[in-house]
Amino acid sequence: VAAIAATTRRIRVGTAGVMLPHYSALKVAEQFRVAEAIAPGRIDLGLGRAPGSDGRTTFALNPRANEAAEQFPAQIRDLLGWLGEGLPEGHPFRSVTASPVVPTRPQVWILGSSDYGAQVAAYFGLPYCFAHFITERGSEEAIGLYREGFRPHPEIPGRLAAPHAALGVFALTAETEAEAWRLYKSRELWRLFRDSGRYPPLPSVEEAEAYPYSEAERAHLDRIRQTAIVGAPEQVKAKLEALAERHGAAELAILTPCHDPEARRRSYRLLAEAFGLGATA
């Protein structure tokens, strides 16, 4: 984050996200205060509660991660405190200061793919991003729950006066619809592996085309495609706009896992051109 922030001047830079139960809230606060010092007002800190990987990796990161996940709201409170709000009276670490001390704060987001994250974001008065790329089930309900339960905190820097929702979306485009769907095959097979408890590197398109899918696996792929937005640039643009409008989302975070790095860069470039976005970072 800091490296990208240091080499850009305009765009916002951030994470989507930091799985907070793996880390100390103080450690995360200090890392993002450094980034904020480099690019004041341009840093986003997305926080999640999910393990983000298989059980063995989760245990290697933090043997007590399952217990820590239950303390997610308390960790958020501590993190916000160390980012500048201050810790409450009686907190055992109230005298501990996160460094460096900077005049501005990163914008904290809550990420999730269920009602839980929506409720946490609403309680703290923070922006919320629903992980549509994981599942589309319950997306509109979660964002609706976030809006209904939102507690405004306009008096606190970084908290909001009104709800602000976003969607994390898988989107891939290419010069033609056929080429976009061909490139998508590698992500499709990777997702199939992941959903069955395997975590190999992202396979190539050629590996995906040669894979002997069973009937059950093909049926699973049909369900996976419901969370993917793939096609020619104008097709993807129209689908993204419709998705955002249906959810009342103010922003979209685009995720594009692609085996070919150049095809991934080209997808972002084509999508930016379709939306008329400038190239200056």
Average pLDDT over residues 182-195: 92
Check whether 44 has a pLDDT greater than 90.
yes
For the chain, what percent of residues have pLDDT higher than 90? Answer: 76
The mean per-residue pLDDT over the stretch 165-184 comes to 96
Q: Are 53 and 59 in contact (CB under 8 A)?
A: no
Answer whether residue 51 shows pLDDT above 90. no
CATH 3.20.20.30 in the chain: give the residue spans: 2-163
- Lowest average pLDDT, out of 48-57, 137-146, 212-221, 241-250, goes to 48-57
Q: Are 141 and 116 in contact (CB under 8 A)?
A: no
d(CA 47, CA 74): 13
Of 19-23, 102-106, 188-192, 225-229, the least confident: 225-229
Q: Which of 25-29, 57-61, 71-75, 254-258 has the lowest mean pLDDT?
A: 57-61
Nearest CA to 110 among 65, 34, 37, 164? 164
pLDDT for the residue numbered 194: 86
141-158 mean pLDDT? 94
- Structure-token pair, residue 268: 């972002």
pTM: 0.91
Please check the confidence at residue 54 and state whether its pLDDT lies above 70: no
CATH number of 2-163: 3.20.20.30
Predicted local distance difference test score (pLDDT) of residue 198: 84
The pLDDT mean for the chain works out to 92
Q: What gap in Å lies between CA 64 and CA 42, rounded to an integer?
A: 33
Residue 57 pLDDT grade (very low, low, confident, very high; cuts 50, 70, 90): confident
Percent of the chain with pLDDT over 70: 96
Whether the pLDDT of residue 68 is over 70: the answer is no
Average pLDDT over residues 215-224: 90
128 pLDDT more than 80: yes
> Is the pLDDT score of 151 beyond 70?
yes
Predicted pLDDT at 106: 96
CA geometry: angle 19, 8, 45, nearest 5 deg: 20
Please state the rounded mean pLDDT for residues 158-177: 96
Is 232's pLDDT higher than 90?
Answer: yes
